[in-house]
Amino acid sequence: MVNSLAIECDALRVRRGREEALHDVDLRIQSGSLVAVLGPSGSGKTTLLRSIVGAQRITGGQVTVLGSPAGSAALRRRVGYVTQEASVYDDLTVRQNLGYFRSIVGAPRGDVERVLDATGLADLGGRLVASLSGGQRSRVSLAAALLGEPELLVLDEPTVGLDPVLRVQLWNEFRALCDAGTTLLVSSHVMDEATRCDRLILLREGTVLADDTLPALLAATGATDAEDAFLRLVAAEPGGAA
């Protein structure tokens, strides 16, 4: 069934600056799954996510999202994107930020309170974003992407800078969204977060090292956790070092 694929990348190539950041990436992500993109800094996670939301100029290949070419106008209300750096207005309050994005996506009024609750920000609604901590700011950015209940959420390192309690809370929220039918693609460089996902995509230097479930990955590499599996895959590569 073709339409059960939320994201499809065929031979995706992206050049950023002088270097190629993604080399012939092929990916298939099922609708309704929670998938992690893991990889070290500079491996191309942000570039891949930007290509999927249609913000990245690509050099070659094809990206299809929810049945349409990535970035097409029809997708703009069906895909929610959280950039790596919190992209919200410092000089507005939390509620004013969400109110603005709500009217842009055309979500119902009550949605602002819903996403405030979902991200644990209910008590901070009246605070100026500039006065928030880094983790609080990135939650405001996440809350804005939840407005209008998009079918696909693309989240670039949403849990960076959060304490373990909040991190668990957010992953529970992601799982709940997924159970309700949303597809989530979440990047992270914390390999532990792999245990929370249906599938992992391991990126290294712009190529996909592995795209599998965690148990399958552990079985194939004989590793005990995702981090170990990643190191073993790197070592097993031709010319790989570890």
Partner 1 sequence: MNARRTLATTGRVLLQIRHDPRTIALLLVVPSLLIGLIAWLFTDTGTFQQIGPAVLGLFPFITMFLVTSVSTLRERRSGTLERLLTLPIGRSDFILGYALAFSLLAIAQALVAVGFAVWVCGLEVEGPIGLLVVVAVADAILGTALGLLASAFARTEFQVVQFMPALVFPQVLLGGILLPRDQMPEVLQAVSDWLPLSYAVDALNSVAAGDAVGEVGLDLLVIAAFAVGAIVLGSLTLRRRTA
Ligand X SMILES: Nc1ncnc2c1ncn2[C@@H]1O[C@H](COP(=O)(O)OP(=O)(O)OP(=O)(O)O)[C@@H](O)[C@H]1O
118 binding ligand X? (CB under 6 A): no
Q: Which of 29, 34, 36, 39 binds ligand X (CB under 6 A)?
A: 39
158 binding ligand X? (CB under 6 A): no
CB of 89 to ligand X, least distance (A): 22
Element (H, E) at 52: helix 45-53
Which token pair is 170? 């957010």
> Dihedral of the CA atoms 151, 157, 158, 159 (nearest 10)?
140
Separation CA 2–CA 8 (nearest Å):
10
Beta-bridge partners for 208: 203
CB of 116 to partner 1, least distance (A): 18
15 binding ligand X? (CB under 6 A): no
The closest of 231, 86, 79 to 158, measured between CA atoms, is 86
Query: Which parts of this chain interact with Mg ion (CB under 5 A)?
Result: 45-46, 84
21 binding ligand X? (CB under 6 A): yes
Separation CA 108–CA 158 (nearest Å):
24
Please say which residue, 130 or 216, places its beta carbon nearer to partner 1: 130
Q: Which of 20, 85, 205, 225 binds partner 1 (CB under 8 A)?
A: 85
179 Cβ neighbours under 8 A, 6+ residues apart:
none
CB of 217 to partner 1, least distance (A): 31
- Only segment of 95-103, 167-175, 193-201, 213-221 that touches partner 1 (CB under 8 A): 95-103
Q: Which of 10, 13, 16, 42 binds partner 1 (CB under 8 A)?
A: 16
Separation CA 124–CA 143 (nearest Å):
12
Please say which residue, 45 or 199, places its beta carbon nearer to Mg ion: 45
Coil vs helix vs strand at 92: coil
Which token pair is 129? 């974003």
CB of 180 to partner 1, least distance (A): 21
Q: By rule CB under 6 A, what count of residues binds ligand X?
A: 14
Neighbours of 106 (CB within 10 A): 10
The beta-strand segments (E) located in 144-191 are 152-156, 183-188
Tell me the residue type at 7.
I
Site string for ligand X, 177-216 (x = CB under 6 A): ------------x---------------------------
207 binding partner 1? (CB under 8 A): no
Please say which residue, 10 or 85, places its beta carbon nearer to ligand X: 85
DSSP-derived secondary structure letter, 18: T
Q: Which of 55, 160, 223, 234 binds partner 1 (CB under 8 A)?
A: 55
Site residues (CB under 6 A) for ligand X? Answer: 16-17, 19, 21, 39, 41-47, 84, 189
